[in-house]
Structure 1
Amino acid sequence: MNMTNDNSSRAETKEGTAEVVSVSAESVSPDTVEKYDRESRTRDVWSTKWSLPLTAFAVGLSLYQIYYALFGGPPTLVHRGIHVGAILVLCFAIQRFRLSEKRRTPPWYDWLFMAGSVAIAVYLGLVFQKLAVSGGRFDTIDVVFSVMALVLVLEASRRVTGPVLPILAILFVVYDYYGRSMPGLFRHRGYDLDRIVTFMYQSTEGIFSTAIGVSSTYIFLFILFGAFLQKSGMGQFFNDIALALAGQARGGPAKVAVLASGFLGSINGSAIANVVTTGAFTIPMMKRVGYQRNFAGAVESAASVGGQIMPPIMGAAAFIMAETLGVPYTEIVLIAIIPAVLYYLAILVQVHMRATSQGLRGISRENLPAVREVMKERGHLLLPLLFLLYMLFFSGTTILFAAVTTIFVTVIASMLRKSTRMSLIDIIYALRDGAVTAISVAVACACVGIIVGVATQTGFGVKLAGTIVTIGGGYLLPTLLMTAVACIILGMGLPSIPAYIIVATMAAPALVQLEVPALAAHLFVFYFGLFANITPPVALAAFAAAGLSGGSPMRTGFIAMRLALGGLIVPFVFVYQPELLMLDGTGFDTARAAVILLIGVMMMSVAAEGHFLVPLPVWLRFVIAVAALGLVTPNVSYDVIGAAIAVVALAVILVMAKRQDRLAWKEI
């Protein structure tokens, strides 16, 4: 966008600004959304004769999950089989075979896939007792159903997540089979195909591994909770409260994007879905007040990715992390708070510096909702979130019970105002939408279970970790750098949850071998697995944002990486300083480390943006970056040196500002 357009947009009339605020998701073409968000590539079965039976099936699945959470049910393997079978039925009924498909009802082959999905769940229930005493023996019919299960999971994963994850799973199966022919360190005994496929289907180490275990319990219920929140109007509340709080500030729409994406991203768990929903509202606003299109898309994509590291829900990945490490979920939430806040502050600093450097303004107050009015109209929708926090941290109940009771509280809280009141139809649709939304997570977890199963069967994860440590020479910093790169590569093209499971299996053990606390190691790989979504050349979240903004996908991705610079630094710091995660030291140590890191991250953001009171020359940006690195380095001597350099740099900036007669503290 050229400066003429920028000036005109800043000088627009009151009516024009009001138009900005009214932009909504409906203004974005469905084709644009489908191009980047595979989960939205669905058939319109809800307008056909199959709507009623499919709705009944989805509602039945949600009610079964609630019943299982409250009262228990069949054995673990059977329950996971029911969960996967039902999810696959919904997937093949709704997800298109290919993007160009125009029909609204499933073709004949998808009916076969649905029948097969039911069959693998039923068969698992019928032979469960035999499996318990078979000692790993199997017969031909076991192999047939095992192959059927693998094919169905791989095809469903292709439709939902794209080709990357199923191709990776197939490559791992090939590695499992040809282990005897593998070179050197990666050689293993190799397994027959019959043994591989039955291991994947008839045990809790393959398709029905821990990932599906978490999906069939915690994740499904919290997705269902999110569906009820959406039906009650929580999404509108987040947008309105973000507008009310930040809309009038310098570059207000960009700050609204950061806040709203953080709120929603923590709940919905998908960076791309967050971009195409929140971004449809925020990106046009950012462009209208003067932000360049690539920068607007980058703000939305960086903020949307960060939602998955933001407590309390963290996009459901925290549940898998807790289950993998065997620690309470609440502990994961607590250690993640400080890094997540620092990540968002770093983005806000760069957004603000861009606004001051270009003279961008916010939205006039009269065209914004008032905080009091927003809270009066929809503030009661915060009650379920507050209740959830109480149940998780103070009640002593299980997570499953907390999730189910919070769903009931959401329905009750919605009744407090007519504008948010949920009817019986709304409740039914929430139950249906929750099951449908769970498709993407459950299918990805089932597919990634194949990869984890091979890693378990062959010891691949342990071997890869040993290789990373060996190449790093046994030193922590080179190992961290290699692990970060490996996580970004492994996470390319994958949703956040399967990306985390893969990097936790393949990369986290390398850090644990170097005596990094397991919690810090897993959070480290989780961060960098997520950053694959904004790291070119396969930056799915950035590409989705560029599709909405009309910008360059690659340029948007590189700007998003710069905006996320704080997030790239923070994981290295908390590995060296576990007190940031409250894993070591006293409360004072945590506070001191957090404050120093906050200053360092803000300075790094200033260096990246190149503006503070005045435009900064390259040499001064380099000096500020050096000072920031000194502050974030876990060494008191470096902290002192960094602080001294920072003071000198600030003095130079003040002199420059005075000479240019541009010192305006009100701009800060």
Structure 2
Amino acid sequence: MSSAHDLADKPLSRSVFWIAVIFSAFQIWTAAYSPLSSQVIRAIHVGFVLLMVFTLYARSGRLGALIGWTLGGIGFLTSLYHWFYEADLTARAGQMTDADMVIGILTIILVFEATRRMMGWALPIICGIFLAYGLFGQYIPGPFMHRGYGLDQIVSTMSFGVEGIYGTPTYVSSTYIYLFILFGAFLEQAGMIKLFSDFSMGMVGHTRGGPAKVSVVSSGLMGTINGSGVANVVTTGQFTIPLMKRFGYSPAFAGGVEATSSMGGQIMPPVMGAVAFIMAETLNIPYIEVVKAAIIPAILYFTTAFLTVHFEAGRRGLHGLAKEDCPDPWAAVRKSWYLLIPLVGLVALLFSGYTPLFSGTVGLGLTVILIFGAAVIQGARPMMLRYLFWLLLGIACAGFVKFGVTDFFVIIAVLVAILLFLRHGKDALKLALNSLAEGARNALSVATACALVGVIIGIINLTGVAAEFGGQVIAIGEDSLFLALFLTMITCLVLGMGIPTIPNYIITSSLAAPILLKLGVPLIVSHMFVFYFGIMADLTPPVALAAFAAAPIARENGLKISIQALRVAAAGFVVPYMAVYSPALMLQGGTAWDTVYIVLKALLAITLWAAGITGFLKTRLNLFERVYIVLAAALLVAAMPLTDEIGFAATAVFLVWHLLRSRRTLPPHTQAV
């Protein structure tokens, strides 16, 4: 059986390709018109995912393919059961028939197996432990023993309620997340990667350590449209990692920079990662509130990476690309300006208070209209075709006035499709279909994780184990908030070594976030804390998913890459702690001055930390100086009486000393990393 990595770029077979296109079309249809109940949409969403996963990740040979199609077909049929018998299931909610039991058990087994094929054993094992606890927890001695639940109760919760497989994560996956993944797929197919690469190359490619800075900037920009760390590694990394190696960076450091930069895409507004949508739904707050909480930490995260590669380049004497070899960034924007319009429209809608579902639908419609429409009117011959396009656009606007926004986008999308066929024929149609298929494939890892992790949520809600676990940790945290935060961080990092960010966040937020709330940490800050360290887990040895995704591109051991990634991201570990002790960093309370003060203090702390890690500021630092500034940065983070004052004083003394010493120090010799 092929691994997920092996199949990342494998072309879809004809049959699976059309299944993926239909899957995307179904998701667009339900997002635009909501023709089915939420429970049915969730079930069919999972059914499509099972069908695609089992056919994509089938064993080689005819028998393997037959088994894959059989399991996928059964998985899809189980989803239709919820549609055909929706009224009966609602009427007898909680009372299981024999058919219900069969469908429910099959669904659980197939979701476990699909996730194993997609992601390996780690997440199924963790979810299996929770499932076993629900079935047999009454036999466990001690505080975690529960009263006992029958098989029918477990199956009902897992397969037919809204707290198990079809719970909040699947709801978010089948609505917001899928649309935004599809949005990113259309932009990538239309050339957004090239635009961002050319822009970042032109802006920072010629500066000190330019190739590494290109990685940071381009990955941050890509994070605004796809929100996926590993996807960023395998897209932008194909360009940036060889570029960094060519200009003197070691393969391990090049891979580490790309992995660190790419993972930051999950906290980079406006789209962020799938977790942001799950967080908004879980906390029952507008998505824009999550964006507001994430914006400053995201900037600090990328500033950390940017400073680290800048100091590392200074320490090694590495320079940027020749100015004449770098593209003109503004020429790239002028050439592909229309690619930015859907992104700008999406941001405007989100910040205007519209729901992510509405914003995503409109953003996707704008993508089709403006990207493909611009391709028509820019290259159209004869001139009559241009006039025809604008005439039809006017007709569609009239339709908007009469029918509303959804029908407007349907009308204009159809008209653009007609014009595309007239002007570009099969090429344009192929581009659109490829975008639909790639969007479906890109959504599989998110969707399988969301479905299976619902098992954990269902068991936690059914048994109430989170309250008992919380009591144990609160007893520790009453004496030391820092110790409670540290234990939460370790939990996130350990879980993240084997499972993706989404299930990591859901598990730790279910267990740890309520604990931190009781210890006085604002709710959204506690959720952002576990979210942030769930991301950092993908950089942490020994698993480090993002680092191992970069390994084949860098042609280096994934463990070495992950160690370098930790160096690049080291200063970023302090940001969540600063946010807990000073919530103004996430725009949670306080005055504008409080926010400005904590941001300036955070910038100073991460600059010192990055310099201490790399061993360079204005010139090389000796061991004593490195230890000194790391301790000074720690004082700025500590948030205890007088620590800020001592930290600022220690920093001022060091900077005066360092500037005086650097004037007497020759520039470092150029070396290869």
- Matches of 1:661 and 1:248 in 2, distance apart? 23
Deviation at 1:417, TM superposition (A): 4.5
2:332 aligned with 1:374, yes or no? yes
8 Å Cα contact 1:465-1:508 kept in structure 2: no
2:367 aligned with 1:405, yes or no? no
Aligned to 1:314: 272
- Matches of 2:303 and 2:597 in 1, distance apart? 17
2:79 aligned with 1:79, yes or no? no
8 Å Cα contact 1:93-1:106 kept in structure 2: no
Write the letter of the residue equivalent to 1:37. Answer: H
Alignment of 1:128-207 (within 5 A): 128-207=86-165
2:462 aligned with 1:457, yes or no? yes
- Matches of 1:385 and 1:41 in 2, distance apart? 26
Secondary structure class of the residue paired with 2:374: coil
- Matches of 1:329 and 1:198 in 2, distance apart? 31
Which of 250, 255, 258 is the aligned partner of 2:208? 250
Query: Alpha-carbon deviations, 1:508-538, whole Å to 9, x = none?
Result: 1221121211100000000111111111112
8 Å Cα contact 2:204-2:210 kept in structure 1: yes
Secondary structure class of the residue paired with 1:110: helix
Aligned to 1:643: 648
Q: Report the TM-score when normalising by structure 2.
A: 0.88
8 Å Cα contact 1:613-1:662 kept in structure 2: no
8 Å Cα contact 2:618-2:662 kept in structure 1: yes
Alignment of 1:482-497 (within 5 A): 482-497=487-502
8 Å Cα contact 1:36-1:544 kept in structure 2: no
Alignment of 1:433-452 (within 5 A): 433-452=438-457
- Matches of 1:533 and 1:67 in 2, distance apart? 34
Aligned to 1:528: 533
Alignment of 1:558-577 (within 5 A): 558-577=563-582
- Matches of 1:543 and 1:115 in 2, distance apart? 33
Deviation at 1:556, TM superposition (A): 2.1
- Matches of 2:481 and 2:363 in 1, distance apart? 43
Deviation at 1:334, TM superposition (A): 1.2
Deviation at 1:252, TM superposition (A): 0.6
- Matches of 1:517 and 1:104 in 2, distance apart? 55
Q: Which runs of 4+ in 1 moved over 4 A?
A: 103-106, 417-422, 661-664
Deviation at 1:620, TM superposition (A): 1.0
- Matches of 2:356 and 2:105 in 1, distance apart? 35
Write the letter of the residue equivalent to 1:496. Answer: T
Higher deviation after alignment, 495-504 or 143-152: 495-504
Deviation at 1:311, TM superposition (A): 0.8
Query: Alpha-carbon deviations, 1:573-595, whole Å to 9, x = none?
Result: 00110111111111221112111
Aligned to 1:65: 27
Alignment of 1:531-546 (within 5 A): 531-546=536-551
- Matches of 1:591 and 1:37 in 2, distance apart? 43
2:581 aligned with 1:619, yes or no? no
Identity of aligned residues (%): 40
Aligned to 2:8: 40
Deviation at 1:479, TM superposition (A): 0.3
Write the letter of the residue equivalent to 2:433. Answer: I
Query: Alpha-carbon deviations, 1:163-186, whole Å to 9, x = none?
Result: 111111111111111111213121
Secondary structure class of the residue paired with 1:615: coil
8 Å Cα contact 1:73-1:79 kept in structure 2: no
Deviation at 1:460, TM superposition (A): 2.1
Aligned to 1:6: none
2:556 aligned with 1:551, yes or no? yes
Aligned to 1:22: none
- Matches of 1:574 and 1:300 in 2, distance apart? 25
- Matches of 1:302 and 1:445 in 2, distance apart? 24
2:481 aligned with 1:476, yes or no? yes
Aligned to 2:51: 89
Deviation at 1:243, TM superposition (A): 0.9
Aligned to 1:21: none
2:184 aligned with 1:241, yes or no? no
- Matches of 1:157 and 1:627 in 2, distance apart? 45
| Shift in alpha-carbon separation, 1:427–1:532, aligned structure 2, 3 A | same
Write the letter of the residue equivalent to 2:103. Answer: F
Q: Report the TM-score when normalising by structure 1.
A: 0.89
- Matches of 2:267 and 2:44 in 1, distance apart? 30
Query: Alpha-carbon deviations, 1:20-74, whole Å to 9, x = none?
Result: xxxxxxxxxxx9xx877366175x443xxxx1x4444322222222222222122
Q: CA RMSD in A?
A: 2.2
8 Å Cα contact 1:92-1:106 kept in structure 2: no
- Matches of 1:374 and 1:518 in 2, distance apart? 42
8 Å Cα contact 1:41-1:95 kept in structure 2: no
Aligned to 1:426: 431
- Matches of 2:609 and 2:240 in 1, distance apart? 26
Secondary structure class of the residue paired with 1:612: coil
Secondary structure class of the residue paired with 1:487: helix
Aligned to 2:312: 354
Aligned to 1:27: none
Higher deviation after alignment, 68-77 or 196-205: 68-77
- Matches of 1:343 and 1:201 in 2, distance apart? 39
Alignment of 1:205-244 (within 5 A): 205-244=163-202
8 Å Cα contact 2:287-2:355 kept in structure 1: no
Gaps of 5+ in 2: 380-419, 421-426
Gaps of 5+ in 1: 1-30
- Matches of 1:628 and 1:335 in 2, distance apart? 23
Query: Alpha-carbon deviations, 1:361-384, whole Å to 9, x = none?
Result: 111122121112211211221111
- Matches of 1:514 and 1:656 in 2, distance apart? 46
8 Å Cα contact 2:3-2:57 kept in structure 1: no
- Matches of 1:652 and 1:500 in 2, distance apart? 44
Query: Alpha-carbon deviations, 1:268-291, whole Å to 9, x = none?
Result: 333222212221211111111111
Secondary structure class of the residue paired with 1:187: coil
Aligned to 2:235: 277
| Shift in alpha-carbon separation, 1:314–1:166, aligned structure 2, 3 A | same
- Matches of 2:250 and 2:579 in 1, distance apart? 34
| Shift in alpha-carbon separation, 1:592–1:663, aligned structure 2, 3 A | farther
Query: Alpha-carbon deviations, 1:515-567, whole Å to 9, x = none?
Result: 21110000000011111111111212122223322333323212211211222
Secondary structure class of the residue paired with 1:185: coil
Aligned to 2:78: 120
Secondary structure class of the residue paired with 1:311: coil
Aligned to 2:392: none
